[in-house]
Amino acid sequence: MQALIPPSLGDWGFQYDPEMGHNFDISDDVDVVITHGPPRGIMDMTYSAERAGCPQLFVAIARSRPRMHYFGHIHEGWGAKVVAWRKMINEKPSHLTDIDNGRSTLIDNLSRVSHDARIHEASLCEEGYTPLQAGSQTLFVNAAVEGTKELPVQPLWLVDLELPLSV
C-alpha cells in the first residue's frame, strides 16, 4: 500500500504546484494506493463541471494498475467504479484514451445512493459482487465523507477485496 500527496488546491498541507506536477512513483507490485485526491478523469468532476483530478496521478495509476485506488477530496465525486484498462496504454496515458468504458462498471455514485445510507459495501471477491481482474481492472473509490446540504455526511465505504498471500 502506498499513500501519496494531493495537488495544490489551497493552503492545506502536503501540496505541490499542479503546473510543476509531481512524480508519483507507484511500483507495479502495489495492490492498494491511497491518495488525498483523485486522478484526472476518475470521479473528479466538480459542481462547476471542472475536472479537479491530477493528470500525473492518472499516469502513475494507469501504468501500475493497482487493484484499488482509494481517495477523497472531491466531495461531489463520491462513489465507486471498477475501471477496465485497455490492453495497451498510450505513451502519455489519459482517462480519455486508456480506459475501456464498455467493460467498466459503476458500482455507485451520489445520484443513486440512498439519503439514509450510513455505510456502503462493495465486495469484489470470488463470492461477492464481481471478482476483480488484477492487472486489467482497478477499483476506484472516492470516499469523500463531507457532503452537501441535501446529504451533509456521505456514506462510508466498506470494501471487501481479495489480495494475494504475502510470502
Q: List, in sequence order, every residue forming a beta bridge with 106; answer none if it has no partner.
A: 81
Give how many domains the chain has, as a whole number.
Answer: 1
What are the two backbone dihedrals, phi and then psi, of residue 58, each rounded to the nearest 5 degrees? -60, -45
- Per-residue pLDDT reduced to its tens digit, 84-93: 999 988 888 8
Asked if 138 and 67 touch (Cβ cutoff 8 Å), the reply is yes
Residue 35 grid cell: 491518495
Q: How confident is the model at residue 18 (pLDDT cuts 50, 70, 90)?
A: low
- pLDDT number for residue 125: 78
Mean pLDDT of the region 54-73: 94
% residues pLDDT > 70 (the chain): 86
Is 45 part of any domain? yes
Separation of alpha carbons 136 and 36, rounded Å = 24
Any domain includes 82: yes
In a domain, 126, yes or no: yes
Would you say residue 166 lies in a domain?
no
pLDDT digits (tens, 9 = 90+) for 115-128: 777 877 787 777 76
* 60 three-state secondary structure: helix
**What is the residue whose three cell numbers read 501519496?**
4
Question: Stretch 14-22: mean pLDDT, rounded?
Answer: 67
The answer to whether position 47 is within a domain reads yes
> Residue 41: which domain range?
3-160
Residues 6+ apart with CB under 8 A from 5: 14, 15, 16, 22, 35, 36
Q: For residue 3, is pLDDT > 60?
A: no
* Residue 165 counted as domain residue: no
pLDDT at 9 over 60: no
For 28, the grid coordinates are 507495479
Residue 33 forms part of a structural domain: yes
pTM of the full structure: 0.85
Residues 107, 79 contacting (CB under 8 angstroms)? yes
Asked whether residue 18 is assigned to any structural domain, the reply reads yes
